[in-house]
Structure 1
Amino acid sequence: MRDLNGKVAVVTGAGSGIGRALAVRFAAEGMRVALADVEQDALMGTAALVDGEVMTKVVDVGEEKEVQAFADAVFDTYGAVHVLCNNAGVFAGGELWSRPVADFEWVFRVNLWGVLHGIRAFVPRMIAQDSEGHIVNTASVAGLFAAPFSGPYTISKFAAYGATESLAHELAMNGSKLRVSVLCPGGVATRIDESERNRPHELKAEKTPDQEFIDQVITDTVTAGIPPEDVAAAVVAAIAEERFLILTHPQYGPGLLQQAEALVAGGLPQLPDFEQR
């Protein structure tokens, strides 16, 4: 889909980072944007940056009813959706055997169920439009390369990647006009290292040394990360080119080949350090 002007884009996790950059870029392309985030003030901050028509709604993407209500509001307002970005995400890490179930429940409900709720709420109506459209699900480079001390996050992102590839195949087999991309960013200057600010009280957990270690790694990574605006530009280009996999760093392509070779040989892939530049 090359012509975005006049079309409608939906972005979750739009209050900061990649979501905010997507909202601003889509508006610059002439799109009307519908934005959701769990943080009211952050969402309003993004809306203030949008040069164009915008609607907002506070949404917890882990709650199916809230995502369905958001979809209802978007279609009631604009009558159609042409680009859907299931982008909301959070981080929790630590050794798999040391972290409580609450960590997994929180991360899965946002990073995986947020994507699934978005698909189920929007895609049937996008199919019924019988027009060109594009779904972009945000996974992560952690959904391609498993890393230690990031179990909850990595598992959720591998699952988000799998959901996106399944969706792409299903739409293609049904002859749909919709196309699908999976966004796998690496180090980006976002606030994902501050995810705990939005963690539900009932899913809070005590920090352990292993988690404190990986939290510092994530902070260092985002501090040195690329601008979110670069990611938004890559997404717009991928939509135009109908590209499935969106990588944010050139090192990841060769890394995927190395990983595939290790797996075909029956070995454990080496730990990559793709953030080195």
Structure 2
Amino acid sequence: MQELAGRVAVITGAASGIGAAIARRFARAGMKIVAADVDEAALAAVCKELVDAGHSAIGVRTDVANAAAVEALAERAYAVFGAVHLLCNNAGVVPSGRYRAVWEFPLEDWHWSLDVNLYGVIHGLRSFIPRMLDAGEEGHVLTTASVAGLISGSGSAVYSAAKHAAVRVTEALYASLRERNAPIGVSLLCPGLVNTRIYESERNRPDGLRPTDGAAPETAELQAVAASLYAGAMSPEEVAEIACQAVLDDRLYVLTTDSFDDAIRERMEAILERRNPQFATLLALSRRDVGERESA
């Protein structure tokens, strides 16, 4: 999809972080924006900002974990703008206490992470792809996954498991559209550490999915380094610029850093060599990502 001006973009998780930055970036490219998020107040603020800047934008409160809500989002987008050319499945959450052992996460964490990080993508594809195919126009789908969906190890198991699945779903989308010669491109955005509020996701956790013992605290080690890590991380605006260029280039795999390349390679080579892997910790990899950025 080479021409963005005048076309329509739907962006989930658009009230903050990468989603809000993507909305601003594509709006500056001349696209009409349908911004969706579960945080209605923050969503309204982003939409007001876009409209005040002279862009065409609407906000639709949407819980991507709910298939009916995503279908209503599609109906609203088509009712207002008559088309959707770019679908950004971006909404994501990270349950707190992410450095627990995999068996220590409560079921509520698993359900919440899979509902948003995986089923949010699935619901988006089911509601929008048939409509986009019927229109027969050029289009694009951008899935925000994570480098956590490409590497492995003990850390952040519920988040990473959902992101691994989102990677596989997006690759299947890419292959299916190619097999049909559909004029719809696909990009899989896998950011490293980004200075967003995703690690404050607990603010938006549904009441019905709150663990009976409350949200688990982060480890003392993570608490000690978190502020400096995120302060030195890539900005959402930088990620949005990379994402926009990937859409224009029709590029599937979109990584924002090479700091995780060794970890990706180690996992892949261990599989191909039929040997046991040596997984680095996610915290160590994140420190490396920020360290290499600061030294660049």
Aligned CA distance change for structure 1 residues 219 and 96 (closer, same or farther; 3 Å): farther
What residue number does 2:29 align with? 29
1:271 to 273, 276, 280: 280
2:68 is the alignment partner of 1:65: yes
Q: After superposition, where does 1:193-272 map in structure 2 within 5 Å?
A: 193-205=199-211, 206-208=214-216, 211-212=218-219, 216=223, 221-265=229-273, 266-271=275-280
Shift of 1:220: 5.2
Shift of 1:202: 1.3
Range that drifts further, 199-208 or 83-92: 199-208
What amino acid does structure 1 have at the position aligned with 2:188?
Answer: V
What residue number does 1:5 align with? 5
Q: CA contact under 8 A between 1:27 and 1:33: conserved in structure 2?
A: yes
What amino acid does structure 2 have at the position aligned with 1:233?
Answer: E
TM (normalized to structure 1)? 0.94
Shift of 1:208: 4.2
Alpha-carbon separation, structure 2, partners of 1:214 and 1:115: 32
| Number of equivalent positions | 276
Deviations 1:173-229 (A, max 9, x none): 0111101111101111110110000001111123446x4458636665433311101
CA RMSD, 1 decimal: 1.7
Percent identity of the aligned residues?
39
What residue number does 1:75 align with? 78
Alpha-carbon separation, structure 2, partners of 1:214 and 1:104: 23
What residue number does 1:17 align with? 17
Range that drifts further, 32-41 or 212-221: 212-221
Alpha-carbon separation, structure 2, partners of 1:111 and 1:195: 12
Aligned CA distance change for structure 1 residues 155 and 22 (closer, same or farther; 3 Å): same
Deviations 1:83-119 (A, max 9, x none): 1000000002222111110000011100000000001
What amino acid does structure 2 have at the position aligned with 1:56?
Answer: G
What residue number does 2:154 align with? 148
2:119 is the alignment partner of 1:113: yes
Q: After superposition, where does 1:27-106 map in structure 2 within 5 Å?
A: 27-50=27-50, 51=53, 52-92=55-95, 93=98, 94-106=100-112
**SS, match of residue 97 in structure 1:** helix
Aligned CA distance change for structure 1 residues 197 and 168 (closer, same or farther; 3 Å): same
Q: CA contact under 8 A between 1:193 and 1:215: conserved in structure 2?
A: no
**SS, match of residue 136 in structure 1:** strand
TM (normalized to structure 2)? 0.88
Q: Which structure 2 segments of 5+ residues have no match?
A: none
Q: CA contact under 8 A between 1:149 and 1:214: conserved in structure 2?
A: no
Aligned CA distance change for structure 1 residues 98 and 175 (closer, same or farther; 3 Å): same
2:132 is the alignment partner of 1:126: yes
**SS, match of residue 147 in structure 1:** coil
Q: CA contact under 8 A between 2:152 and 2:267: conserved in structure 1?
A: no
Q: CA contact under 8 A between 2:140 and 2:186: conserved in structure 1?
A: yes
Shift of 1:60: 0.5
Alpha-carbon separation, structure 2, partners of 1:271 and 1:213: 19
Alpha-carbon separation, structure 2, partners of 1:132 and 1:62: 27
What residue number does 2:172 align with? 166
Range that drifts further, 146-155 or 112-121: 146-155
Alpha-carbon separation, structure 2, partners of 1:161 and 1:220: 29
